[in-house]
Protein backbone atom coordinates (compact mmCIF):
# COMPACT_ATOMS: atom_id res chain seq x y z
CA UNK A 1 0.00 0.00 0.00
CA UNK A 2 1.53 3.43 -0.93
CA UNK A 3 2.41 5.60 2.11
CA UNK A 4 -0.34 8.17 1.34
CA UNK A 5 -3.03 5.46 1.48
CA UNK A 6 -1.37 3.95 4.58
CA UNK A 7 -1.66 7.34 6.34
CA UNK A 8 -5.31 7.66 5.35
CA UNK A 9 -6.06 4.11 6.54
CA UNK A 10 -4.41 4.78 9.90
CA UNK A 11 -6.24 8.07 10.30
CA UNK A 12 -9.68 6.61 9.49
CA UNK A 13 -9.08 3.49 11.56
CA UNK A 14 -8.24 5.69 14.54
CA UNK A 15 -11.46 7.69 14.10
CA UNK A 16 -13.52 4.51 13.58
CA UNK A 17 -11.93 2.90 16.66
CA UNK A 18 -12.83 5.89 18.84
CA UNK A 19 -16.34 5.80 17.50
CA UNK A 20 -16.74 2.03 18.08
CA UNK A 21 -15.46 2.23 21.66
CA UNK A 22 -17.94 5.00 22.46
CA UNK A 23 -20.79 2.91 21.03
CA UNK A 24 -19.89 -0.54 22.32
CA UNK A 25 -17.02 -1.50 24.64
CA UNK A 26 -17.17 -5.13 23.43
CA UNK A 27 -16.06 -4.12 19.91
CA UNK A 28 -12.36 -4.66 19.14
CA UNK A 29 -9.94 -2.10 17.76
CA UNK A 30 -10.48 -1.94 13.98
CA UNK A 31 -7.86 -4.17 12.38
CA UNK A 32 -5.86 -3.34 9.27
CA UNK A 33 -7.81 -3.39 6.01
CA UNK A 34 -7.45 -6.68 4.12
CA UNK A 35 -5.68 -6.86 0.75
CA UNK A 36 -8.51 -6.18 -1.68
CA UNK A 37 -9.21 -7.11 -5.30
CA UNK A 38 -8.59 -3.48 -6.33
CA UNK A 39 -7.47 -0.16 -4.84
CA UNK A 40 -9.63 0.89 -1.85
CA UNK A 41 -12.86 2.76 -2.58
CA UNK A 42 -12.69 6.26 -1.09
CA UNK A 43 -15.63 8.39 0.11
CA UNK A 44 -15.26 12.14 -0.32
CA UNK A 45 -14.95 14.14 2.86
CA UNK A 46 -14.58 17.75 3.92
CA UNK A 47 -11.22 19.60 3.52
CA UNK A 48 -9.77 16.86 1.33
CA UNK A 49 -9.88 14.34 4.22
CA UNK A 50 -11.64 11.16 3.06
CA UNK A 51 -14.79 10.33 5.04
CA UNK A 52 -14.41 6.61 4.53
CA UNK A 53 -12.54 3.75 2.88
CA UNK A 54 -13.65 0.30 1.76
CA UNK A 55 -11.97 -2.79 0.39
CA UNK A 56 -13.64 -5.62 -1.53
CA UNK A 57 -12.46 -9.22 -1.18
CA UNK A 58 -13.73 -12.02 -3.44
CA UNK A 59 -14.10 -15.33 -1.59
CA UNK A 60 -14.85 -18.73 -3.14
CA UNK A 61 -15.92 -21.39 -0.62
CA UNK A 62 -14.85 -24.85 -1.87
CA UNK A 63 -17.35 -27.75 -1.95
CA UNK A 64 -15.37 -29.73 0.65
CA UNK A 65 -15.65 -26.93 3.24
CA UNK A 66 -18.34 -27.00 5.91
CA UNK A 67 -18.56 -23.24 5.43
CA UNK A 68 -20.68 -24.01 2.35
CA UNK A 69 -23.44 -24.97 4.82
CA UNK A 70 -23.52 -21.41 6.14
CA UNK A 71 -23.35 -19.19 3.08
CA UNK A 72 -23.27 -18.78 -0.69
CA UNK A 73 -20.42 -20.28 -2.68
CA UNK A 74 -19.15 -16.97 -4.09
CA UNK A 75 -18.96 -14.12 -1.62
CA UNK A 76 -18.01 -10.50 -2.29
CA UNK A 77 -17.10 -9.07 1.10
CA UNK A 78 -16.74 -5.34 1.71
CA UNK A 79 -14.73 -4.12 4.71
CA UNK A 80 -15.61 -0.46 5.27
CA UNK A 81 -14.26 2.08 7.76
CA UNK A 82 -15.99 5.43 8.19
CA UNK A 83 -15.08 8.53 10.11
CA UNK A 84 -18.52 9.80 11.22
CA UNK A 85 -20.35 11.31 12.97
CA UNK A 86 -23.00 11.01 10.23
CA UNK A 87 -22.16 7.91 8.19
CA UNK A 88 -24.97 8.12 5.66
CA UNK A 89 -23.39 10.09 2.76
CA UNK A 90 -20.04 8.26 2.97
CA UNK A 91 -21.69 4.84 3.22
CA UNK A 92 -23.88 5.68 0.23
CA UNK A 93 -20.87 6.76 -1.83
CA UNK A 94 -18.88 3.62 -0.96
CA UNK A 95 -21.81 1.33 -1.79
CA UNK A 96 -22.34 3.09 -5.12
CA UNK A 97 -18.67 2.55 -6.01
CA UNK A 98 -18.88 -1.07 -4.88
CA UNK A 99 -21.97 -1.73 -7.02
CA UNK A 100 -20.14 -0.36 -10.07
CA UNK A 101 -17.13 -2.57 -9.28
CA UNK A 102 -19.30 -5.70 -8.91
CA UNK A 103 -21.67 -5.03 -11.84
CA UNK A 104 -20.30 -7.43 -14.48
CA UNK A 105 -18.55 -9.80 -12.05
CA UNK A 106 -21.60 -10.62 -9.91
CA UNK A 107 -23.91 -11.25 -12.86
CA UNK A 108 -21.47 -13.67 -14.44
CA UNK A 109 -21.10 -15.54 -11.10
CA UNK A 110 -24.81 -16.44 -10.98
CA UNK A 111 -27.25 -17.13 -8.14
CA UNK A 112 -25.14 -18.79 -5.44
CA UNK A 113 -23.54 -15.46 -4.56
CA UNK A 114 -23.82 -12.67 -2.02
CA UNK A 115 -22.51 -9.15 -1.55
CA UNK A 116 -21.74 -8.94 2.19
CA UNK A 117 -20.81 -6.40 4.87
CA UNK A 118 -20.38 -7.16 8.57
CA UNK A 119 -21.12 -3.98 10.50
CA UNK A 120 -21.14 -3.11 14.23
CA UNK A 121 -24.76 -3.61 15.32
CA UNK A 122 -24.84 -0.41 17.39
CA UNK A 123 -23.28 1.81 14.69
CA UNK A 124 -26.60 2.75 13.18
CA UNK A 125 -26.31 6.07 11.37
CA UNK A 126 -25.34 4.52 8.00
CA UNK A 127 -27.87 1.68 8.10
CA UNK A 128 -30.36 3.45 5.87
CA UNK A 129 -27.78 3.42 3.05
CA UNK A 130 -27.40 -0.37 3.42
CA UNK A 131 -31.17 -0.84 3.15
CA UNK A 132 -31.50 1.51 0.18
CA UNK A 133 -28.79 -0.35 -1.70
CA UNK A 134 -30.85 -3.54 -1.36
CA UNK A 135 -29.03 -5.13 1.59
CA UNK A 136 -30.81 -7.09 4.34
CA UNK A 137 -29.65 -7.95 7.87
CA UNK A 138 -29.17 -11.74 7.65
CA UNK A 139 -27.26 -12.86 10.73
CA UNK A 140 -26.08 -11.42 14.02
CA UNK A 141 -23.03 -12.21 16.11
CA UNK A 142 -24.30 -11.81 19.66
CA UNK A 143 -22.25 -11.60 22.87
CA UNK A 144 -22.89 -12.66 26.45
CA UNK A 145 -20.60 -11.26 29.15
CA UNK A 146 -19.82 -13.81 31.91
CA UNK A 147 -22.26 -14.36 34.76
CA UNK A 148 -24.95 -12.12 33.30
CA UNK A 149 -28.05 -12.76 35.47
CA UNK A 150 -31.12 -14.31 33.82
CA UNK A 151 -34.79 -13.90 34.72
CA UNK A 152 -36.36 -17.05 36.18
CA UNK A 153 -37.40 -19.30 33.28
CA UNK A 154 -39.94 -22.07 32.80
CA UNK A 155 -39.82 -25.13 35.06
CA UNK A 156 -37.42 -27.72 33.75
CA UNK A 157 -39.25 -30.99 32.87
CA UNK A 158 -38.89 -33.26 35.93
CA UNK A 159 -37.53 -36.19 33.89
CA UNK A 160 -34.92 -34.16 31.96
CA UNK A 161 -31.35 -35.45 32.15
CA UNK A 162 -28.44 -33.47 30.70
CA UNK A 163 -25.23 -35.35 30.02
CA UNK A 164 -21.99 -34.84 28.14
CA UNK A 165 -21.91 -36.44 24.67
CA UNK A 166 -19.16 -38.81 23.55
CA UNK A 167 -18.06 -40.76 20.45
CA UNK A 168 -21.03 -43.19 20.77
CA UNK A 169 -23.42 -40.25 20.19
CA UNK A 170 -22.13 -39.55 16.66
CA UNK A 171 -25.48 -40.36 14.94
CA UNK A 172 -27.70 -38.22 17.14
CA UNK A 173 -25.27 -35.27 17.32
CA UNK A 174 -24.96 -35.34 13.50
CA UNK A 175 -28.76 -35.44 13.20
CA UNK A 176 -29.18 -32.41 15.49
CA UNK A 177 -26.39 -30.48 13.73
CA UNK A 178 -28.16 -31.09 10.40
CA UNK A 179 -31.44 -30.11 12.06
CA UNK A 180 -30.11 -26.60 12.75
CA UNK A 181 -28.76 -26.19 9.20
CA UNK A 182 -32.15 -27.27 7.75
CA UNK A 183 -34.02 -24.98 10.13
CA UNK A 184 -31.83 -22.02 9.18
CA UNK A 185 -32.32 -22.98 5.51
CA UNK A 186 -35.78 -21.45 5.84
CA UNK A 187 -34.10 -18.07 6.22
CA UNK A 188 -31.50 -18.62 3.44
CA UNK A 189 -28.84 -18.79 6.15
CA UNK A 190 -28.30 -22.59 6.29
CA UNK A 191 -27.60 -24.63 3.11
CA UNK A 192 -27.91 -28.42 3.01
CA UNK A 193 -25.76 -29.24 -0.02
CA UNK A 194 -24.75 -32.63 -1.50
CA UNK A 195 -21.62 -32.84 0.70
CA UNK A 196 -23.10 -31.34 3.87
CA UNK A 197 -24.16 -34.52 5.69
CA UNK A 198 -20.77 -36.22 5.20
CA UNK A 199 -18.89 -33.04 6.20
CA UNK A 200 -21.00 -32.55 9.34
CA UNK A 201 -20.46 -36.20 10.31
CA UNK A 202 -16.71 -35.92 9.82
CA UNK A 203 -16.50 -32.68 11.81
CA UNK A 204 -18.71 -34.10 14.58
CA UNK A 205 -16.63 -37.29 14.84
CA UNK A 206 -13.47 -35.20 15.29
CA UNK A 207 -15.09 -33.01 17.93
CA UNK A 208 -16.57 -35.95 19.90
CA UNK A 209 -13.19 -37.71 19.87
CA UNK A 210 -11.65 -34.93 21.99
CA UNK A 211 -11.36 -35.54 25.73
CA UNK A 212 -14.46 -34.16 27.55
CA UNK A 213 -16.03 -32.47 24.50
CA UNK A 214 -18.15 -29.40 25.20
CA UNK A 215 -21.27 -31.04 23.73
CA UNK A 216 -24.25 -31.78 25.98
CA UNK A 217 -27.37 -33.79 25.18
CA UNK A 218 -30.73 -33.42 26.94
CA UNK A 219 -32.67 -36.68 27.29
CA UNK A 220 -36.15 -37.64 28.41
CA UNK A 221 -36.71 -41.32 29.16
CA UNK A 222 -33.31 -42.07 27.64
CA UNK A 223 -34.38 -40.41 24.36
CA UNK A 224 -32.30 -37.40 23.13
CA UNK A 225 -34.46 -34.27 22.77
CA UNK A 226 -31.94 -31.42 22.52
CA UNK A 227 -28.31 -30.42 22.32
CA UNK A 228 -25.89 -27.57 22.92
CA UNK A 229 -22.33 -27.44 21.52
CA UNK A 230 -19.64 -25.02 22.69
CA UNK A 231 -16.18 -24.30 21.33
CA UNK A 232 -13.81 -23.51 24.20
CA UNK A 233 -11.48 -20.49 23.77
CA UNK A 234 -8.67 -22.62 22.30
CA UNK A 235 -11.00 -23.58 19.40
CA UNK A 236 -12.58 -20.13 19.01
CA UNK A 237 -9.61 -18.13 17.71
CA UNK A 238 -11.36 -17.89 14.29
CA UNK A 239 -13.99 -15.55 15.82
CA UNK A 240 -12.41 -14.28 19.06
CA UNK A 241 -11.02 -11.17 17.31
CA UNK A 242 -14.58 -9.90 16.83
CA UNK A 243 -14.60 -8.72 20.46
CA UNK A 244 -12.29 -6.70 22.70
CA UNK A 245 -12.72 -9.27 25.50
CA UNK A 246 -9.77 -11.67 25.63
CA UNK A 247 -10.28 -15.43 25.24
CA UNK A 248 -13.83 -15.50 23.92
CA UNK A 249 -15.64 -18.85 23.57
CA UNK A 250 -18.21 -19.69 20.89
CA UNK A 251 -21.60 -21.35 21.22
CA UNK A 252 -21.74 -23.29 17.96
CA UNK A 253 -25.03 -25.23 17.99
CA UNK A 254 -28.33 -25.21 19.85
CA UNK A 255 -31.16 -27.51 18.88
CA UNK A 256 -34.34 -28.88 20.51
CA UNK A 257 -36.66 -31.33 18.75
CA UNK A 258 -39.73 -29.50 17.38
CA UNK A 259 -42.21 -31.39 19.62
CA UNK A 260 -40.20 -30.51 22.75
CA UNK A 261 -39.80 -26.75 22.15
CA UNK A 262 -41.14 -24.01 24.48
CA UNK A 263 -40.96 -26.39 27.45
CA UNK A 264 -37.72 -25.26 29.09
CA UNK A 265 -35.34 -27.81 27.50
CA UNK A 266 -33.37 -25.13 25.64
CA UNK A 267 -32.99 -22.93 28.73
CA UNK A 268 -31.82 -25.94 30.80
CA UNK A 269 -29.16 -26.80 28.21
CA UNK A 270 -27.94 -23.20 28.06
CA UNK A 271 -27.74 -23.08 31.85
CA UNK A 272 -25.50 -26.19 31.76
CA UNK A 273 -23.28 -24.55 29.10
CA UNK A 274 -23.09 -21.27 31.02
CA UNK A 275 -22.14 -23.10 34.25
CA UNK A 276 -19.15 -24.57 32.38
CA UNK A 277 -18.20 -21.24 30.77
CA UNK A 278 -18.43 -19.36 34.06
CA UNK A 279 -16.47 -22.07 35.89
CA UNK A 280 -13.69 -21.76 33.28
CA UNK A 281 -13.63 -17.95 33.67
CA UNK A 282 -14.61 -17.24 30.04
CA UNK A 283 -15.18 -13.46 29.85
CA UNK A 284 -17.43 -13.38 26.77
CA UNK A 285 -19.28 -16.00 24.74
CA UNK A 286 -20.20 -15.33 21.12
CA UNK A 287 -22.78 -17.02 18.89
CA UNK A 288 -24.53 -16.51 15.55
CA UNK A 289 -28.25 -16.38 14.95
CA UNK A 290 -30.35 -15.65 11.87
CA UNK A 291 -31.90 -12.22 12.25
CA UNK A 292 -35.36 -13.45 11.20
CA UNK A 293 -35.35 -16.74 13.16
CA UNK A 294 -38.51 -16.21 15.23
CA UNK A 295 -37.50 -18.66 17.96
CA UNK A 296 -33.81 -17.94 18.39
CA UNK A 297 -33.89 -14.11 18.48
CA UNK A 298 -36.08 -13.85 21.64
CA UNK A 299 -34.51 -16.99 23.10
CA UNK A 300 -30.94 -15.68 22.95
CA UNK A 301 -32.00 -12.31 24.26
CA UNK A 302 -33.56 -14.04 27.30
CA UNK A 303 -30.41 -16.09 27.73
CA UNK A 304 -28.33 -12.89 28.10
CA UNK A 305 -26.95 -12.40 24.56
CA UNK A 306 -27.11 -9.07 22.73
CA UNK A 307 -26.13 -8.00 19.18
CA UNK A 308 -22.48 -7.12 18.56
CA UNK A 309 -22.13 -7.38 14.76
CA UNK A 310 -24.78 -7.58 12.05
CA UNK A 311 -24.05 -9.26 8.71
CA UNK A 312 -25.80 -7.44 5.87
CA UNK A 313 -26.16 -9.29 2.55
CA UNK A 314 -27.61 -8.93 -0.90
CA UNK A 315 -28.46 -12.29 -2.51
CA UNK A 316 -27.64 -12.80 -5.29
CA UNK A 317 -24.78 -10.31 -5.37
CA UNK A 318 -26.03 -8.87 -8.69
CA UNK A 319 -29.11 -7.56 -6.84
CA UNK A 320 -26.98 -4.90 -5.09
CA UNK A 321 -28.54 -1.57 -6.03
Distance CA 73, CA 59 (A): 8
What's the min distance (Å) between Cβ of 84 and ligand COA? 31
Among 28, 36, 134, 153, indicate the residue that binds ligand COA (CB under 6 A): 153
Q: Which of 50, 71, 126, 266 binds ligand COA (CB under 6 A)?
A: 266
Q: Return the number of the residue (70 or 183) whose C-beta is nearest ligand COA.
A: 183
Contact 125, 88 (CB under 8 A): yes
Task: Give the range of 27-35, 102-110, 125-133, 289-297 binding ligand COA by CB under 6 A.
Answer: 289-297
Indicate the residue among 117 and 265 with the shorter CB distance to ligand COA. 265
Interacting residues with ligand COA between 166 and 225 (CB under 6 A): 180, 183
Compute the half-sphere exposure of residue 289: CA atoms within 13 Å on the CB side of its CA.
21
**44 near 148, Cβ under 8 Å?**
no
Nearest residue (CB) to ligand COA, 213 versus 226 = 226
Please choose, from the candidates 244, 180, 311, 188, the residue with its C-alpha nearest in 3D space to the C-alpha of residue 25: 244
58/302 with CB nearer ligand COA:
302
Burial, 235: exposed, middle or buried (Cβ in 10 Å; 0-12, 13-18, 19+)? middle
Residue nearest to ligand COA (CB): 266
If DSSP codes are grouped into helix, strand and coil, which group holds residue 275? helix
The yes or no reply on residue 161 touching ligand COA (CB under 6 A) is no
Q: Give how far Cα 84 sits from Cα of 30, 66, 89, 206, 293, Å.
A: 14, 37, 10, 45, 31
Contact yes or no for 296/289 (Cβ under 8 A): yes
Render 205-274 in DSSP notation, one character per residue. Answer: HHHHTSSS-SEEEEEETTEEEEEEEEE-GGG-HHHHTTSSSTT-EEEEEEEE-GGGTTSSHHHHHHHHHH
Q: Kindly state whether residue 149 participates in binding ligand COA, applying the rule CB under 6 A.
A: no
If the CB atoms of residues 214 and 299 are measured against ligand COA, the closer one turns out to be 299
User: Which of these segments, 79-87, 96-104, 118-126, 291-299, binds ligand COA (CB under 6 A)?
Assistant: 291-299
Instruction: Find the binder of ligand COA among 261, 272, 276, 319 (CB under 6 A).
Output: 261
Under DSSP, is residue 40 helix (H, G, I), strand (E, B) or coil? coil
Q: Give the C-alpha separation, 142 to 134, whole Å.
A: 24
CB of 187 to ligand COA, least distance (A): 9
Residue 90 as a binder of ligand COA (CB under 6 A): the answer is no
Q: Is 289 in the site for ligand COA (CB under 6 A)?
A: yes
Give the range of 69-77, 123-131, 195-203, 263-271 binding ligand COA by CB under 6 A.
Answer: 263-271
CB contact at 8 A, 232 and 280 = yes
Asked if residue 264 binds ligand COA (CB under 6 A), the reply is yes
Output 58 or 257, the one with its CB closest to ligand COA.
257
Distance (Å, rounded) from C-alpha 181 to C-alpha 160? 25
Nearer to ligand COA, 74 or 236 (CB): 236
Give me the residues that bind ligand COA (CB under 6 A), please. Answer: 150-151, 153-154, 180, 183, 254-256, 261-267, 289, 293, 295-296, 299, 302
Amino acid sequence: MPWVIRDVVNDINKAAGKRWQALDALLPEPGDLPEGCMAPLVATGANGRPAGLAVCVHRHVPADSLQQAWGPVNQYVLTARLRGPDLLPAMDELLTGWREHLAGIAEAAGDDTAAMITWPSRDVTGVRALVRHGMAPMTVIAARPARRALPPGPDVPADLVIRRAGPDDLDIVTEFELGVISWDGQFDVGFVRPATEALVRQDTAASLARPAPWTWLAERGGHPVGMVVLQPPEQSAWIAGMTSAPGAAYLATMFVRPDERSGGVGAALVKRAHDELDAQGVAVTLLHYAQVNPVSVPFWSRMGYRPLWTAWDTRPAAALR
